[in-house]
Structure 1
Amino acid sequence: MASLEECEQAFHGLAAKLAGAEPAARRKASLDRSLTCTLRDLKVIFAGQLRDGELLNIRQVDKSDGQVKMTMTSDDLLELVAGELPMGSAWASGRVKIDASVFDLLKLRSIF
């Protein structure tokens, strides 16, 4: 199980990766949605805002009320962000649960 600090670093690493991406790649990931990610094993929820291909305002929250809701374990988060776990197979196998529109699901695939 990954630590809370490792997970927070992973989210900030993902934000930095998105911010440093080529403009064309950022356009692919362009959404304007609130995002919450529940880490089941740590019993913690992170939130942020996906806007114009960036992940902004990362913080811990008490309630999972984002427009895009993700649920996974801390280890799965680290693997996703590191590129070791493909989003499509993680979602298809149930390791990652996502409550979002089909359009948003397609956009999320380009982020991870």
Structure 2
Amino acid sequence: MATVDDCRQALYDLAARLDINAEAQGRLDLDRTLACRITDLGTAFHARIKGGRLVDITDGDDPKAKIALITGSDDLLSLVAGKLDVTRAIASRQISIKANPFDLLKLRKLL
């Protein structure tokens, strides 16, 4: 099982990767709050997806977040490292993403 610090670092790594992708692909018209809930650690982080970038990563949950990623710590690390396919992970219920359907379509472009 990964630690809270490992999960925090994974989110920062994801933010760095999204920064590179945003520069290469152009801006994505998506400005939403994001909650990342780590089930096996009983912890959460929240951030904002803005223009295809992940910004303002902070410890703690945001119950009003427009997008919620719910997963275990090891699955989060595998997902960010590219070892876990998002579509398969959702289909197998390793991860859960709660968002409106239009936001889900835009999120696919990020991942």
| TM-score normalized by the length of structure 2 | 0.90
Q: How many residues align?
A: 111
The aligned amino acid for 1:42 is L
Long gaps (5+) in structure 2: none
Match of 1:46 in 2: 45
Q: Which runs of 5+ in 1 are unaligned?
A: none
**TM-score normalised by the chain length of structure 1:** 0.89
Question: Which is further off, 61-70 or 72-81?
Answer: 61-70
Cα-Cα RMSD: 1.6
Instruction: Flag the 1:62–1:18 CA change in 2: closer, same or farther, 3 A.
Output: closer
Offset, 1:65: 2.4
1:34-71 Cα shifts (integer Å, max 9, x gaps)? 00010000100110000001100001114432100111
Aligned 8 A contact 1:18 1:111 in 2: yes
Higher mean alpha-carbon deviation, 99-108 vs 77-86, is at 99-108
Query: Does structure 1 retain, via aligned residues, the 8 Å contact 2:35–2:46?
Result: yes
8 Å CA contact 1:2, 1:75 repeated in 2? yes
After TM superposition, the structure 1 stretch with the greater mean CA deviation from structure 2, 57-66 or 71-80, is 57-66
Residues in 2 aligned to 1:57 and 1:7: alpha-carbon distance in whole angstroms: 15
**Structure 1 residues 26 and 61, CA gap change in structure 2 (3 angstroms):** farther
Q: Indicate the SS of the match to 2:63.
A: coil
Q: Which residue of 2 aligns with 1:10?
A: 10
The change in CA–CA distance for 1:62 and 1:54 in structure 2 (over 3 A counts) is closer
